Amino acid sequence: MNKNALHLVRAAALAAALVALSVPGFAGESPKQPEDLALKLMDQTGSLSVDSVAGVRIGSSLKEAFGALGPADRVLADGTWVIYKDFHVNNSVAHGTLAVSLKDGRVSALRVVSPAVAVALVAHRGCAVDQVVVASNR
C-alpha cells in the first residue's frame, strides 16, 4: 500500500472517530431529557393536581366518579376519598395515591399524592389535601 493511501485511511478513521464522539449516545453521553415538572412538583409538595382520572373531571357527579374509579379505600371526615391504587401522571414518572375531594355530591378536586401524604390524610382525618403533616408536637 502506498503512503498516500495509508494517510487517507488514517484520516478517514480519525474523522469517523470524531463524528462518533460528537453523536449523543456515544462515549457515555446521553441525550438531554425534558424536565419532568410533574415529578419535580410531586417531590417538592407531595401532591399534584390533575385534570382528570379515568374520565372523571372536576364537576363529575359522585355516581360518575364511583362508576369510573370504584369505591374509595378510605373516606375521610371531610368527604375526601382516598384510593390506594397506583395512579400514574401522564407524560411523567410521577405516581401515587388518588385523593378525590367532593362538594355537594360533585368532584371538586383531584390530586395524586405521595404515600406520606396519603398516610397523613388518613391519620389526620380533618386535613385538607394540600396540607402535608409529617409530625406533630402534642
Asked whether residue 9 falls in the same domain as residue 63, the answer is no
Cβ(56)–Cβ(69) below 8 Å = yes
pLDDT in tens, 79-135: 888 988 888 888 888 899 999 999 998 999 999 998 888 888 888 755 444 444 444
135 belongs to a structural domain: no
24 and 56 in a single domain? The answer is no
Say how far apart CA 100 and CA 75 lie, in whole Å: 9
* Residue 55 CB partners (closer than 8 Å, separation 6+): 64, 68
- Per the structure, the complete domain to which residue 59 belongs is given by 37-123
pLDDT at 34: 79
Specify whether 21 is located in the same domain as 41.
Answer: no
Read off the pLDDT of each residue in 53-62 and give the average, rounded to a whole number: 91
Please tell me the pTM assigned to this model. 0.64
